[in-house]
Every structure is written in structure tokens, then in C-alpha cells.
């Protein structure tokens, strides 16, 4: 699952960088391309569940 987050964040980073480069910045402003948020895992989701048998 961690690889999915890394791949997503890498894709978002490439998108943001490409959107800020000329001439893409002009097209992005004209058509209203927005930004994406990076994937973050909450601290509570990182905890290992306790299992009892």
C-alpha cells in the first residue's frame, strides 16, 4: 500500500511542476487546472493492530 502513496505523490509532483512551466502555465490558467493534495497517512493508521488468539 505504501508504494501506491509514493507513486501518487510522485505523479502529483510531476503534475505540479509541469503546470508551472511555460507555456503550460498559460494553458493551466485559461482552463482552470487546479492542484492536487499529496497523499498523507494519519498517525493512527500507522499503528499495528493487536490480535489475540
Q: pLDDT tens for residues 4-33?
A: 878 999 999 999 999 999 999 999 999 999
Domain boundaries, the chain: 2-40
Compute the distance between CA of residue 3 and CA of residue 17 in angstroms, rounded to an integer: 21
Name which of 32, 5, 10 is nearest 19 in CA terms: 32
pTM over 0.85: no
Q: What is the distance of C-alpha 42 from the center of its chain?
A: 15
Amino acid at each position: 500500500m505504501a508504494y501506491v502513496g509514493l507513486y501518487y505523490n510522485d505523479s502529483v509532483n510531476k503534475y505540479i511542476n509541469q503546470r508551472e512551466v511555460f507555456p503550460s502555465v498559460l494553458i493551466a490558467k485559461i482552463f482552470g487546472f487546479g492542484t492536487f493534495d499529496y497523499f498523507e497517512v494519519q498517525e493512527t493508521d500507522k499503528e499495528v493492530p493487536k490480535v489475540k488468539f
